[in-house]
Amino acid sequence: MALRAGAGTVVVDNFDDIDRLEHLLEHDREARARAPQRVLIRVIPDVDADTHEAMATGHRHSKFGLAVPDAVRAAARLRGDERLLLEGLHVHVGSQLLDTAPFARAVEAIAAIGELGEHAVYDLGGGLGVRYTYADRPPTIEEYVRTLTDAARKHLPATARLLIEPGRSLVAGAATTLYRAVTVKHGPRTLVAVDGGMGDNLEPMLYGQRFEATVGTRVGGGVGCDLMGRHCESGDTLIRDVPLRDPRVGDVIAVPVTGAYCLSLANNYNGARRPPVVFCADGTSREVVRRETYEDLLRRDV
Ligand SMILES: Cc1ncc(COP(=O)(O)O)c(C=O)c1O
């Protein structure tokens, strides 16, 4: 698909990817017409990022990319094939990094591959963390970019082109999830159950990501409550010990900073229908993704 669509650059992760590209460029007429295909090599920088292990992607045993000696071999192979044009390297150390040091270490690590030409591309991936909780202090965009450019000046050729892919930090703060409280149980802990959960936000369950929350009409204050999802697991806990002021059935409970990896990880577990998405600005709103229906859930049944 990438070759036929004329993708400018393909990132190869392994030697099988190179085999596949070579095969297509040999046998697929449409793909062949577009040769030479530009490629980057994904490199394992052997950098431990301080994030949840499921989101760390640059450590020694990462499943993504090639270790430096293998990347050197891949580069030699690509240079020997005129249908492929080695444009540079790609690295991604992980997501939700609150410290800039691993970014700099990754640049230093990929410099070990050696010179790739005057206009080589160094795609440094994503990783810039987001402020999910009051306590989080992610780097500013300026600190993040300064870290990358300082490391590039130190370790890469002066004419290197840098690319970045900061997905999470671009979109996370753009969304707030609005739930409706359906049950409030007072016991040893106050449990506030809502009409959503791991079907619309898997970040707490997959990555231990903590969020904040508030009652829509009573912002601030309150006592620590556990915000529970509606699914059939105790693990369907959205937030433990989050202060909510006098939560009651029917309240809107707002969970901010849900713009990244929530909708894309949303699922139909327990037959839950995925929520709609509404864009709001300047006092107006517009539905851009409609609420899923039960008919949607049955649509693929044969
Ligand atoms: C190759 C690559 N680039 C960029 C990103 C986005 O990273 P982030 O979530 O840190 O913005 C990802 C996410 O997994 C990725 O795999």
- Using alpha carbons, list the distances in angstroms from residue 228 to 51, 238, 269: 24, 6, 15
Atom of ligand 1 nearest to the CA of 168: 11
Q: For residue 159, is pLDDT > 90? A: yes
Query: Is 269 exposed, middle or buried, given 0-12, 13-18 or 19+ CB atoms closer than 10 A?
Result: middle
Pairing of strands 121-123, 161-163: parallel
Stretch 195-219: mean pLDDT: 97
- pLDDT in the model for residue 69: 95
Distance 166 CA to ligand 1 centre (A): 7
Cβ-contact 37, 25 below 8 angstroms: yes
- pLDDT in the model for residue 123: 97
Q: How does residue 48 score in pLDDT terms, banded at 50, 70 and 90?
A: confident
- Report the alpha-carbon distance of residue 232 to residue 198 in Å, rounded: 10
Of the residues 64, 92, 207, which should be mutated to test ligand 1's pocket, given the most ligand atoms within 8 Å of the CB? 92
* 18 alpha-carbon distance from chain centroid: 25
Residue 262 among the catalytic residues: no
- Using alpha carbons, list the distances in angstroms from residue 146 to 142, 151, 152, 172: 6, 8, 10, 22
3-state secondary structure of 152: helix
Q: Which residue in 123, 108, 88 sits closest to 156, CA to CA? A: 108
Distance 274 CA to ligand 1 centre (A): 23
- Report the alpha-carbon distance of residue 179 to residue 8 in Å, rounded: 41
Considering 225, 232, 262, 280, which one is annotated as catalytic?
232
Give the position of tokens 């409609």.
290
* Residues whose beta carbon lies within 6 Å of some atom of ligand 1: 92, 95, 125-127, 165-169
pTM summary value: 0.93
Pairing of strands 252-256, 176-186: antiparallel
Q: How does residue 34 score in pLDDT terms, banded at 50, 70 and 90?
A: confident
Atom of ligand 1 nearest to the CA of 165: 4
- Using alpha carbons, list the distances in angstroms from residue 144 to 51, 96, 99, 198: 16, 12, 9, 31
Q: For residue 52, is pLDDT > 90? A: no
Atom of ligand 1 nearest to the CA of 261: 9
Rg (CA), the chain: 23
3-state secondary structure of 109: helix
Query: 121 has which bridge partners?
Result: 88, 161
Pairing of strands 214-215, 252-256: antiparallel
Distance 145 CA to ligand 1 centre (A): 16
Cβ-contact 42, 10 below 8 angstroms: no
- The DSSP line for 168-236 is HHHHGGG-EEEEEEEEEEESSSEEEEES-STTT--HHHHH------EETTB-S--EEEEEE-SSSSTT-
Q: What is the pLDDT of residues 106-131, one digit of tens each?
A: 999 999 998 888 789 999 999 999 99
Q: What are phi and psi of 121, to 5 degrees?
A: -100, 135
Distance 42 CA to ligand 1 centre (A): 13
- pLDDT in the model for residue 233: 94
Q: For residue 181, is pLDDT > 90? A: yes
Could you tell me which residues come within 8 angstroms of residue 244 by beta carbon, excluding any fewer than 6 positions away? 190, 192, 213, 214, 215, 222, 223, 225, 227, 253
Q: For residue 12, is pLDDT > 90? A: yes
Distance 49 CA to ligand 1 centre (A): 13
Atom of ligand 1 nearest to the CA of 167: 11
- pLDDT in the model for residue 117: 82
Q: What is the pLDDT of residues 226-261, one digit of tens each?
A: 999 999 999 999 999 999 999 999 999 999 999 999
- The DSSP line for 16-78 is HHHHHHHHHHHH-HHHHHTPSEEEEEEEE-----SS-GGGB-SSTT-SSSEEHHHHHHHHHHH
Q: What is the residue with the minimal CA distance to atom 4 of ligand 1?
A: 126
- pLDDT in the model for residue 49: 83
Q: What is the pLDDT of residues 61-98, one digit of tens each?
A: 889 999 999 999 999 999 999 999 999 999 999 999 99
